[in-house]
Structure 1
């Protein structure tokens, strides 16, 4: 029996078939369409009687290679790529829902996903109910006769709350519901939701999968029969990933394991350094023993991920002063980059949420989200420590740990 290759090997060695030029790396197939050998092949391809590329909005060798890798790494049967992470989140639900359907979703979601549920889907008669991550006993009672699917992200953005995937998979199965998991923060290297019963796994490949802030992209992976429906929806609504971005993302997967190890190691060191800091109200990171779901994190994640959050004393004004005092860290609306990034969710990514909604998902006025990069950890520590000091009006120090 052929032995299954390890994660890192699959990410590196899975490639599209070589051309007659015998290239070591797949070329970029920058073509809008593909020719047919004859009229019969064209007919067969358009009628799904034969596999092959027709038009890059439908499929492309670069995107196909990316999908093949992601399916192997996530343990799913099939998948498609999209032009952005939000195209993936939207399409993963919209393709499988009809007017009158209901969604049960975790309350802690990315701001744009919240907007889809609260402002876009209602136009089509699709409703939702939010469930609190810290009240799992309430979820079953929130399921309605017209509930079609459950949508969660874990760890959540930006609160870093976790959902028990094993429990949730059993809940969805018991009620015949589809389970969709946004696995953006963890990536397939740290957790595989499909192994716990998720029917669809969605990604913003813009983040850690790219890992270098170069591309916008997304992916939807899952059971073959469901992906067929999603593929039909995407084929005709058109959120296609460009071949160039597909090529970049496929190459990025070759270093995902190496990068995630460094992201996670740096993040844990930063969280440990900041925990108990005199200028902070709290620090949150899944692999800190103080995290309320530490045991769950250890159970379903390989490592704690590359994101940490902390709340500075002094609220919004202090949080903004902290960002303005950073010398090395980037202030940008992204995460998962090689470079460490700091954001203030209350005034940026989740600013469209009311104060009450922000409080419900753990966004305090002084909350700062840090996407920990690949720089030397001492440099990251020093920049954050000195920004905390500068925003309080105290002298800076050199950090050497």
Structure 2
């Protein structure tokens, strides 16, 4: 089946669920086991079955199968949040003193989690992961266990050269992990370029309004994550999983439309006198343009960012003047919103790390929804004019 068909049917057969065309929600906690031997075999993983939610449910397996098919992975494991997926994956596949190489410009929550919960690992932050000289220099004489990056960085929209990073990882016998939340499998599938593991916060574009996260990759890696997940305790609820399945069905249409509108907005902002800089790899003057053509040929997604002229106070006045576009600390929904990372998503970082991550007091992250592009442009223009007069 092709991609759009898999988004509707992948990993689900109505015949296995009493003929229900729409995936049912399986409520409850522990199903009755037919006999003691079956209970034992299912519990220890010798036989596939449902025994307890932390070990997997009907709904989690539907989501795992479908997203694994869309990403081209062998297996997947769902979690309650994207950060839980990252943390459990690292707990499962690394040990104390292992070297983990991480892109510096990534989601602030990931950075802080690595510093707080993985202080017993040696975490090396690299400013530009596409600069193989810097990467080699930072890891000279070392043997990295993991290389962690975002294919579209949050929030500066850097595009990572996955193929080159995969080659570097293989030379060092390290695993390449790519967070593809901003791209979704609609626009890019990192496993096809050599990544070992792909992670999504399904809370964002995939699910829209419900929490979730997923790890996708080879069976051997995912099995280790699965064993850790049994006792990690970040199990996604059945309701959230059902909503994830619903979100996947609309994902191809939604993401393509968001990508088209985001490009229009980026072009508009790049010409506006109140804007200092626009971060969107779909613009020809972006330093990421050629990598975007390689890894995101069908569009660069619904996320963009920009810096306004003036001060942080001016930027916050702009945000507060927006009428249609909401101020929300999330992204990927069907309505558009802005986020002020300096005081929200990246506020937990120390000032030096925050600045290194590209976050200034005039920086704004923009998530494109499904509104008419002209309405969004008018709202942006009226708010920008008030701070540029």
TM range (shorter): over 0.9
Once residues 159 and 71 of structure 2 are traced to their aligned partners in structure 1, the CA distance between those partners, rounded to angstroms, is 19
Question: Mean Cα displacement is larger for which, 249-258 or 127-136?
Answer: 127-136
Is structure 2 residue 321 aligned with structure 1 residue 325?
yes
Once residues 170 and 34 of structure 1 are traced to their aligned partners in structure 2, the CA distance between those partners, rounded to angstroms, is 45
Question: Mean Cα displacement is larger for which, 182-191 or 343-352?
Answer: 343-352
State how 1:201-220 maps to structure 2 within 5 Å.
201-211=198-208, 214-220=209-215
1:281 to 257, 276, 292: 276
State how 1:213-252 maps to structure 2 within 5 Å.
214-252=209-247
Is structure 2 residue 86 aligned with structure 1 residue 89?
yes
Structure 1: where are the runs of 5+ without partners?
395-401
* Aligned partners of 1:333 and 1:349 also within 8 Å: yes
SS of 1:271's equivalent?
helix
Map of 1:340 onto structure 2: 336
* Aligned partners of 1:36 and 1:42 also within 8 Å: yes
Question: Shift of residue 147 of structure 1?
Answer: 2.1
Q: Given the two structures, how large is their TM-score scaled by the length of structure 2?
A: 0.96
* Aligned partners of 1:263 and 1:306 also within 8 Å: yes
State how 1:190-201 maps to structure 2 within 5 Å.
190-201=187-198
Map of 1:378 onto structure 2: 374
Question: Shift of residue 353 of structure 1?
Answer: 2.2
The verdict on how the C-alpha distance between 1:242 and 1:284 changes in structure 2, with shifts beyond 3 A counting, is same
Once residues 171 and 14 of structure 2 are traced to their aligned partners in structure 1, the CA distance between those partners, rounded to angstroms, is 42
Map of 1:59 onto structure 2: 56
Question: Shift of residue 104 of structure 1?
Answer: 0.5
The Cα offsets for residues 117-166 of structure 1, whole Å up to 9 and x where unpaired, read as 222211xx112111122533211222253521000012101111111001
1:349 to 345, 349, 353: 345
SS of 2:101's equivalent?
strand
Once residues 41 and 356 of structure 2 are traced to their aligned partners in structure 1, the CA distance between those partners, rounded to angstroms, is 53
Once residues 157 and 132 of structure 2 are traced to their aligned partners in structure 1, the CA distance between those partners, rounded to angstroms, is 16
Structure 2: where are the runs of 5+ without partners?
none
State how 1:144-163 maps to structure 2 within 5 Å.
145-163=142-160
* Aligned partners of 2:92 and 2:224 also within 8 Å: yes
Once residues 295 and 343 of structure 1 are traced to their aligned partners in structure 2, the CA distance between those partners, rounded to angstroms, is 27
Map of 1:9 onto structure 2: 5
Once residues 289 and 20 of structure 1 are traced to their aligned partners in structure 2, the CA distance between those partners, rounded to angstroms, is 49
2:65 to 68, 71, 93: 68
Once residues 60 and 20 of structure 1 are traced to their aligned partners in structure 2, the CA distance between those partners, rounded to angstroms, is 13
Once residues 185 and 83 of structure 1 are traced to their aligned partners in structure 2, the CA distance between those partners, rounded to angstroms, is 18
Once residues 74 and 319 of structure 1 are traced to their aligned partners in structure 2, the CA distance between those partners, rounded to angstroms, is 38
Once residues 47 and 309 of structure 1 are traced to their aligned partners in structure 2, the CA distance between those partners, rounded to angstroms, is 47
SS of 1:147's equivalent?
coil
Once residues 135 and 122 of structure 2 are traced to their aligned partners in structure 1, the CA distance between those partners, rounded to angstroms, is 16
Question: Shift of residue 17 of structure 1?
Answer: 4.5
Is structure 2 residue 184 aligned with structure 1 residue 169?
no
SS of 1:109's equivalent?
coil
SS of 1:303's equivalent?
coil
* Aligned partners of 1:16 and 1:26 also within 8 Å: no
Is structure 2 residue 79 aligned with structure 1 residue 105?
no
Q: Given the two structures, how large is their TM-score scaled by the length of structure 1?
A: 0.93
Is structure 2 residue 323 aligned with structure 1 residue 297?
no
Question: Shift of residue 18 of structure 1?
Answer: 3.4
* Aligned partners of 1:325 and 1:391 also within 8 Å: no
Once residues 218 and 226 of structure 1 are traced to their aligned partners in structure 2, the CA distance between those partners, rounded to angstroms, is 16
SS of 2:198's equivalent?
strand
1:366 to 355, 359, 362: 362
Once residues 288 and 133 of structure 2 are traced to their aligned partners in structure 1, the CA distance between those partners, rounded to angstroms, is 15
Is structure 2 residue 384 aligned with structure 1 residue 388?
yes
* Aligned partners of 2:88 and 2:232 also within 8 Å: no
Map of 1:397 onto structure 2: none
Once residues 164 and 299 of structure 1 are traced to their aligned partners in structure 2, the CA distance between those partners, rounded to angstroms, is 9
* Aligned partners of 1:310 and 1:369 also within 8 Å: yes
Once residues 225 and 370 of structure 1 are traced to their aligned partners in structure 2, the CA distance between those partners, rounded to angstroms, is 37
Question: Shift of residue 16 of structure 1?
Answer: 4.6
Map of 1:272 onto structure 2: 267
